[in-house]
Amino acid sequence: MKDFVFYSPTQVVFGREGAEQVGALTAAFGGRKVLVHFGGGSAKRSGLLDRVCRSLEESGVAYMTFGGVKPNPRLSLVREGIRLGRQEGVDFLLAVGGGSVIDSAKAIAYGLAMEGDVWDLYSKKAQARACLPLGAVLTIAAAGSETSNSSVITNDDTGEKRGYTSDLCRCRFAVMDPSLTFTLPPYQTASGCTDIMMHMLERYFHPGGTASMAADSMTEALLRTMLVCSRRVMEQPEDYDARAEVMWTGSLAHNDLLQCGNGMRGDWACHQLEHELGGMYDVAHGAGLAAVWPAWARYVVDTDPGRFASFARQVMGVAETEDKTAALAGIAAFEAHLRSLGMPVNLTELLGRRISEEEVQKLAHGCSFQGKRTIGTLRPLDEADMAEIYRRAR
């Protein structure tokens, strides 16, 4: 097992009635003037926002609300939030929503703690030295931002979707009430489940194969949990226990626990391929991942057929003894599972049309940062590889 540092400082408050504890939690973590950040309306419609605000009032915490976050959160709204936060002397960010709202709140929190332009972090021109404290009330099990150290923002001027990673932005607390996810549209539920599984697969397929039996065993067990529970939440959206399994697995999938011992790395090529799709076509993140994963897996399978065979046998229940045959059967079985959730498994299904060769080239050029970087660690992929995967994913 390789050396590691595991840092997961977020206090998780899991279960019904969590919203009523937000005021006390915010006060305990030092919030005196809070920016309550939310999305396009679901938190208002469900009454959650009112519950959160009431809780803040009862704890004597001053706050202001700032909504309007869209999926693939935009830099322009982040900048507006920074202006507002500065004007009002905000000292704490409270995100009420999903990954997009939490990521937007993280970006505002960075922006309020720095002098320059916050996009400099996402365009890798600067490193954050500080970040305002944050808390989250999670409404969708998906991105894992509630316990992760990253945030992903889309620059609406350029269409670039870029991530920034630093432990500074980890939430102080995350309130997770599975019943808040009952109202999710099926496509968002499925997309979220896909993202959760992908966060595990990105870490599972790392160079060097099995580096930690503990990490592998946990990952395989949690993936099996997701196979069962993703189907249950699609069939019965108000199955509290299935929603709870998915929500908790979503946090465990992305708080770095599953990469301890394997060098704290993963492959992440599919995420990079998806971020380009999100920036260009504004697709749901999980759906974008589902559309590229099968093509990616078949493209790289020969790099480590044994690893793919382990996934096939331990997770997908494939009985084949020959590695390459098992590997391909495992990829096909996972693809079929994604399809059974209603996810697109190629770009034509994702976008409703076949993309042109010119678009393939544009995606690969953007994803490779104009040919300046490779992505992936299992098999590093250059611009030509990226183009080939997008092409095969059509």
Residues near ligand NZQ, by CB under 6 A? 39-43, 71-72, 97-101, 103, 139-140, 142-145, 148, 150-152, 180-181, 183-184, 188, 192, 195, 254, 271, 278, 285
State which residue, 326 or 390, has the beta carbon closest to ligand NZQ: 390
Q: Which does 98 bind (CB under 5 to 8 A by kind): ligand NZQ, Zn ion, none?
A: ligand NZQ
State which residue, 103 or 195, has the beta carbon closest to Zn ion: 195
The tokens of 60 are what? 């004597």
**Least spacing, CB of residue 26 vs ligand NZQ, in Å:** 20
**Least spacing, CB of residue 309 vs ligand NZQ, in Å:** 26
Q: Which does 41 bind (CB under 5 to 8 A by kind): Zn ion, ligand NZQ, none?
A: ligand NZQ
Q: Which does 72 bind (CB under 5 to 8 A by kind): ligand NZQ, Zn ion, none?
A: ligand NZQ
State which residue, 160 or 195, has the beta carbon closest to Zn ion: 195
CA angle 326, 273, 205 (to 5 degrees): 35
At 359, the amino acid letter reads E
Q: Which residues bind Zn ion (CB under 5 A)?
A: 195
State which residue, 203 or 337, has the beta carbon closest to Zn ion: 203
Nearest residue to Zn ion, using CB? Answer: 195
**Least spacing, CB of residue 322 vs ligand NZQ, in Å:** 33
Among 192, 375, 216, smallest CA distance to 290 is for 192
**Least spacing, CB of residue 348 vs ligand NZQ, in Å:** 21
State which residue, 188 or 314, has the beta carbon closest to ligand NZQ: 188
State which residue, 66 or 296, has the beta carbon closest to Zn ion: 296
Q: Which does 317 bind (CB under 5 to 8 A by kind): Zn ion, ligand NZQ, none?
A: none
Q: Which does 344 bind (CB under 5 to 8 A by kind): ligand NZQ, Zn ion, none?
A: none
Q: Which does 10 bind (CB under 5 to 8 A by kind): Zn ion, ligand NZQ, none?
A: none
Among 61, 139, 129, smallest CA distance to 95 is for 139
**Least spacing, CB of residue 183 vs ligand NZQ, in Å:** 4
Q: Which does 139 bind (CB under 5 to 8 A by kind): Zn ion, ligand NZQ, none?
A: ligand NZQ
The 3-state secondary structure of the chain, one letter per residue? CCCCCCCCCCEEEECCCHHHHHHHHHHHCCCCEEEEEECCCHHHHCCHHHHHHHHHHHCCCEEEEECCCCCCCEHHHHHHHHHHHHHHCCCEEEEEECHHHHHHHHHHHHHHCCCCCCHHHHCCCCCCCCCCCEEEEECCCCCCCCCCCEEEEEECCCCEEEEEECHHHCCCEEEECHHHHHHCCHHHHHHHHHHHHHHHHHHHCCCCCCCCHHHHHHHHHHHHHHHHHHHHHHHCCCCHHHHHHHHHHHHHHHCCHHHCCCCCCCCCHHHHHHHHHHHHHCCCHHHHHHHHHHHHHHHHHHHCHHHHHHHHHHCCCCCCCCHHHHHHHHHHHHHHHHHHCCCCCCHHHHHCCCCCHHHHHHHHHHHCCCCCCCECCCCCECHHHHHHHHHHCC
Q: Which does 42 bind (CB under 5 to 8 A by kind): ligand NZQ, Zn ion, none?
A: ligand NZQ
At 251, the amino acid letter reads S
State which residue, 96 or 289, has the beta carbon closest to Zn ion: 289
**Least spacing, CB of residue 27 vs ligand NZQ, in Å:** 25
**Least spacing, CB of residue 288 vs ligand NZQ, in Å:** 8
State which residue, 193 or 316, has the beta carbon closest to Zn ion: 193
**Least spacing, CB of residue 144 vs Zn ion, in Å:** 7
